[in-house]
Amino acid sequence: MNSEPRVSKNVGRLMVGIVIGFALVALYANIQKLRRAKIESVTFTPASQTATPSPAPAR
């Protein structure tokens, strides 16, 4: 007597397709992250060295 439940071939193919889809999405996301790091650059400019006076409170 075979007590193991069998999964139909269609369900197995669907599960494999979903796993492959997730893998492709993860691969695409990592490639985009690497490309974005090459394209984008951030430039920090320090604030002016002279102190700007704050406005005096109104009386």
2-55 pLDDT, tens per residue?
Answer: 667 787 999 999 999 999 999 999 999 999 888 887 777 777 887 766 666 677
State the pLDDT at residue 53: 66
Q: How far is CA 12 from CA 8, 16, 18, 44, 59, in A?
A: 6, 6, 10, 53, 78
Whether this prediction's pTM lies above 0.75 is answered by: no
Of 18, 22, 16, 21, whose CA–CA distance to 7 is shortest? Answer: 16
Task: Enter the DSSP assignment of 45.
Answer: -
Backbone angles phi, psi at 50, to 5 degrees: -80, 135
Location of structure tokens 């999964």: 7
State the pLDDT at residue 51: 61
Question: Which of the two residues, 57 and 15, has the higher pLDDT score?
Answer: 15
Location of structure tokens 């197995």: 12
